[in-house]
């Protein structure tokens, strides 16, 4: 807090930490606590205020097209056209309200991290043990930890008894870490700092005492909180494109409106006020007012579709961004894997068994090589499983279709392996009750139990770290006999399993005297017989393997970033069939490389191990600097900075911390990687539908603008369409016809094509040509019928009513063309494949009849009745667009097929 550089706590001896913080095992005095509270502040994370609701509402107006509309509305109001001005302002307000409602929650990530902190702490002060609020802790306080406690601040441990702490929120590693007092090397990553206990982590076993070394924002969790706050949230590819498109469209509109104004005054001798009204009419005609609302609604429909596939979207634009994702950086534990340890390999002398099944599911078979086998045919395998079941402190609660583990995940996995062979924990303990044990401790790295069977047999079973247990054994069990141990054989098998990413446990046995009732270390210093080895791993989910393949087929690279060890990471990557899993880049290697060196590697390397929050954030930023669109998955607090920085942050709904969820755009309700591939499919569909909506809306605006320009060039003093009529057409067709395109189903090849280039324009040359082509068709038909009616002696109101209805009918027919950008629609699926389109057409016809014949609408918009014979001419003219655009598509497809090699 006062700018001093802090020591590297995990490298110091506990006496050095006592000295640094001027404290002792009896704790601080009340005076020292007061002074330190003044100096260091409370043990809380820094507050950051989110933007107010008013500010978020005002941000909805920060759009260049909206500025032009507001300016047009103000000028129209000053000219006394109250109805036109009212309609313009109404459109602006509706857009803002839709945007405000859909934007969702503000950033709550920091609040979520705060909720993870322990509310209370057991401390020793002035020689007395007392419980205080955790925010009252200061550096130098002595804190007692026991099973079930949340660590209240960062501690340097100086006493520990079988202490194990679950650090998954900080490291992502599923297995609890065994703690000790011994200092570790300077370059030890967070998961290997065994003499430290970090704020927000959970004590799962044993007891410990530590000195508070830092509090509040300086803790590991506080540092992550600061990282989250400092991460700049980047905008989405489509929002960048739409922003660019909006600015370009505004310049074009203002240029043509100004040109038309000057042309009318200079060449046609119009009055300035009259010409200004025409220029405003042109601007209103050319601006696609309905587009922001259609974009928002299309994204919202995508959100609902994704929710049905277990992907909950928290921020709307993420829907579309998913469609552009090129790289998915996935956490391993719990996302690609089950987050449940599973026995995969069992070794007895000369035999290597593979065990099937996942996690704590009690179903799974045993096989030797590629051949399935029954454990009943291998008495030695059954002996090993019985020993592992008896020398075990875990328990499995078996409900209907669910299995709950109580205790250490690795011990639980041994019980599950026993169940698969028909060995039940409770039954074995009844047959062979335990009378004493030596509990597991990090100093000796094994546990031993003493059992007496009802038939008079007495055995000591021992299990633990293989290098420890193998060294304690003189013999090994070979069938019915025990022979001298072949230490070289067992050590090579341990290395082989470790290279496959498996954690290894060894199990041994020793007969004991029937009268023995207590167990001592002297009882296990000789005559131990090694029974075999267990290889355990947190295996990949089956559906994750197929989802990775699906993503790779869609041109998306999957990278695995984990806090686990490199060997484990590579083993899982191989099972998932990641593209490049021969090498894992570790946090230590990342630390040593410059950005330029690392940039060359991040594109190629797909496996990253032992990484910290800063490493994850750096990897995401480097990939983004290469222009890639990144999705990042995670569940821990340690993932929050990278989740916030990624283009799409994806948190786990079941195992994820609130901090991870709040930093993310998307939450997986089922914690399953497969749901991400479904979400990508929906994201691509949403983008397709947005392009179809834009391709539908812009020719309407183009046609209206060309009608006004044509009228001025010809020298017409009264416009064929008033600004209010133009806004009616734009909004009513947007909320009916354009909205129907938001419900278009996914195209069949959506997951076979590569991700789109985020830098490419939302409008290709072909789409711009289509917009101009259709705009000209609409202008010729609409203005032609307007002139036809005027020349027949019709009133200006009658001719305008025909012009508006002609324009709307053109759009109804053009809607069918827009369902497929290049594919033909003159078939059953093309005409009837989207029922929402048919409903929208029916609604629009009703609206137009009301617009034409209801007297309140006639007064508001200046319309009048038209005859049935006029409708026939009008519909026949409007249908031309359907056939002309289909002919243009056919020519495009023909040219494309000729250009293919």
Residue positions annotated with a catalytic role: 331
Closest CA to 448 of 430, 431, 468, 428: 468
DSSP, collapsed to helix, strand or coil, labels residue 229 as helix
Helices 723-733/272-286 angle, 10° precision: 0
Kind and range of the H or E element at 312?
strand 311-313
Q: How many CB atoms lie within 10 A of CB 369?
A: 10
Q: Distances in Å between the alpha carbon of 639 and those of 330, 401, 679, 841?
A: 10, 32, 20, 48
- By the 8 A CB rule, do 69 and 89 touch? no
- The pair of structure tokens assigned to 809 is 């009918």
Helix runs in 326-390, H state only: 379-390
Q: In what order do the strands lie in the sheet containing 607-609?
A: 311-313, 666-668, 648-652, 630-634, 327-330, 557-561, 607-609, 584-586
Per this entry, what is the length of the chain? 901
- By the 8 A CB rule, do 852 and 865 touch? yes
373 DSSP β-pair partners:
366
159 DSSP β-pair partners:
209
Give the distance, in angstroms, between the CA of residue 865 and the centroid of all CA atoms in the same chain.
Answer: 55
- The pair of structure tokens assigned to 348 is 């007895």
- By the 8 A CB rule, do 58 and 114 touch? no
DSSP, collapsed to helix, strand or coil, labels residue 7 as coil
- The pair of structure tokens assigned to 746 is 């996914």
Q: Which burial class, exposed, middle or buried, applies to 456 when counting CB atoms under 10 A from its CB (0-12, 13-18, 19+)?
A: exposed
Q: How many CB atoms lie within 10 A of CB 716?
A: 18
- The pair of structure tokens assigned to 463 is 């299990």
Helices 765-791/868-878 angle, 10° precision: 150
- By the 8 A CB rule, do 581 and 570 touch? yes
End-to-end CA distance of the chain: 67
Q: What is the DSSP letter of 190?
A: G
CA distance 570 to 581: 6
CA distance 617 to 533: 39
CA distance 412 to 116: 27
Beta strands in 399-441 (DSSP E): 403-406, 434-438
- The pair of structure tokens assigned to 704 is 């209206």
- The pair of structure tokens assigned to 320 is 């579309």
CA distance 195 to 217: 21
Contacts 24+ apart (CB under 8 A), 76-84: 76/277, 76/280, 76/723, 79/273, 79/276, 79/277, 79/280, 81/277, 81/723, 83/724, 83/860, 84/284, 84/722, 84/723, 84/724, 84/727
Q: How many CB atoms lie within 10 A of CB 504?
A: 22
């Amino acid at each position: 807090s006062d700018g001093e550089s802090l020591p590297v706590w995990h490298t110091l001896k506990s006496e050095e930490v006592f000295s640094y913080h001027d404290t002792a095992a009896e704790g601080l005095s009340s005076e020292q606590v007061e002074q330190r509270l003044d100096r260091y502040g409370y043990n809380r994370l820094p507050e950051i205020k989110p933007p107010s609701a008013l500010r978020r509402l005002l941000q909805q107006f920060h759009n260049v097209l909206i500025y032009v509309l507001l300016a047009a509305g103000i000028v129209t109001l000053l000219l006394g056209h109250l109805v036109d001005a009212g309609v313009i302002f109404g459109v602006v307000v509706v857009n803002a309200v839709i945007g405000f409602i859909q934007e969702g929650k503000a950033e709550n990530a920091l609040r979520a991290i705060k909720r993870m902190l322990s509310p209370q702490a057991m401390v020793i002060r002035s020689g007395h043990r007392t419980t205080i609020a955790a925010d009252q802790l200061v550096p130098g306080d002595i804190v007692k930890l026991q099973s079930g406690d949340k660590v209240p601040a960062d501690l340097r441990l100086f006493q520990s008894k079988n202490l194990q702490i679950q650090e998954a929120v900080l490291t992502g590693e599923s297995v609890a870490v065994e703690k000790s007092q011994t200092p570790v090397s300077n370059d030890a990553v967070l998961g290997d700092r065994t003499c430290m206990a970090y704020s927000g982590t959970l004590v799962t076993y044993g007891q410990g005492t530590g000195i508070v070394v830092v509090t509040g924002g300086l803790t590991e969790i506080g540092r992550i909180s600061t990282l989250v706050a400092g991460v700049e949230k980047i905008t989405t590819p489509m929002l960048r494109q739409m922003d660019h498109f909006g600015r370009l469209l505004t310049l074009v509109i203002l240029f043509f409106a100004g040109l038309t104004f000057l042309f009318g005054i200079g060449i046609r001798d119009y009055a300035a006020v009259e010409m200004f009204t025409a220029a405003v009419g042109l601007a209103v005609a050319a601006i696609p007012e309905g587009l922001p609302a259609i974009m928002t609604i299309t994204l919202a429909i995508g959100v609902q579709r994704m929710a049905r596939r277990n992907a909950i979207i928290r921020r709307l634009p993420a829907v579309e961004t998913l469609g552009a994702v090129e790289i998915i950086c996935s956490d391993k534990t719990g996302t690609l894997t089950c987050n449940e340890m599973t026995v995969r390999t069992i070794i007895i002398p000369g035999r290597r068994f593979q065990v099937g099944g996942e996690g704590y599911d009690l179903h799974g078979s045993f096989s030797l090589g590629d051949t399935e086998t029954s454990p009943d045919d291998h008495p030695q395998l059954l002996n090993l499983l019985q020993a592992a079941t008896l020398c075990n402190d875990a328990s499995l609660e078996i409900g209907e279709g669910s299995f709950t583990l109580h205790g250490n995940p690795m011990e639980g996995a041994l019980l599950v392996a026993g169940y698969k062979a028909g060995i039940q924990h409770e039954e074995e303990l009844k047959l062979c009750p335990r009378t004493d044990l030596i509990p597991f401790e990090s100093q000796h790295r094994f546990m031993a139990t003493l059992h007496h069977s009802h038939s008079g047999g007495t055995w000591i079973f021992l299990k633990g770290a293989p290098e420890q247990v193998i060294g304690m054994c003189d013999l090994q069990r070979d069938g019915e006999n025990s022979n001298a141990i072949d230490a070289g054989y067992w050590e090579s098998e341990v290395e082989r399993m470790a290279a496959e990413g498996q954690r290894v446990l060894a199990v041994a046995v020793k007969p004991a005297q029937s009268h023995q009732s207590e167990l001592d270390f002297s009882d296990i210093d000789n005559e131990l017989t090694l029974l075999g080895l267990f290889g355990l791993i947190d295996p990949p989910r089956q559906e994750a393997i197929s989802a990775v393949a699906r993503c790779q087929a869609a041109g998306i690279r999957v990278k695995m970033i984990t806090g686990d060890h490199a060997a484990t990471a590579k083993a899982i990557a191989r099972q998932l069939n990641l593209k490049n899993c021969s090498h894992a880049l570790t946090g230590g290697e990342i630390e040593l490389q410059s950005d330029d060196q690392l940039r060359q590697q991040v594109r190629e390397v797909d496996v990253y191990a032992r990484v910290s929050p800063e490493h994850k954030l750096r990897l995401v930023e480097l990939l983004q600097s290469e222009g890639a669109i990144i999705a990042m998955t995670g569940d821990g607090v340690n993932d929050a900075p990278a989740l916030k920085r990624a283009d799409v942050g994806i948190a786990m709904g079941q195992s994820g911390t609130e901090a991870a969820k709040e930093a993310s755009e998307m939450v997986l309700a089922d914690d399953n990687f497969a749901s991400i591939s479904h979400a990508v499919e929906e994201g691509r569909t949403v983008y397709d539908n947005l392009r179809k909506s834009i391709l539908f809306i812009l020719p309407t605006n183009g046609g209206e603008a060309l009608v006004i320009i044509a009228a001025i060039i010809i020298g017409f003093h009264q416009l064929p369409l008033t600004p209010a009529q133009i806004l009616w057409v734009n909004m009513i067709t947007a909320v009916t016809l354009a909205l129907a395109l938001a419900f278009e189903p996914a195209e069949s090849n959506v997951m076979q094509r590569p991700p789109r280039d985020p830098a490419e324009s939302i409008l290709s040359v072909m789409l711009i040509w289509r917009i101009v082509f259709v705009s000209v068709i609409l202008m010729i038909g609409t203005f032609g019928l307007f002139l036809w009616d005027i020349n027949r002696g019709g009133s200006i109101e009658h001719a305008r009513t025909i012009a508006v209805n002609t324009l709307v009918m053109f759009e109804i027919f053009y809607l069918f063309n827009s369902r497929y950008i290049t594919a033909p629609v003159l078939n059953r699926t093309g005409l009837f494949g989207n029922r929402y389109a048919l409903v929208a057409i029916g609604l629009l016809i009703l609206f137009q009849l009301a617009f034409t014949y209801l007297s309140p609408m006639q007064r508001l918009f200046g319309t009048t009745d038209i005859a049935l014979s006029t409708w026939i001419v009008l519909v026949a003219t409007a249908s031309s667009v359907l056939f002309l655009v289909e002919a243009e598509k056919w020519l495009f497809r023909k040219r494309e097929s000729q250009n293919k090699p």
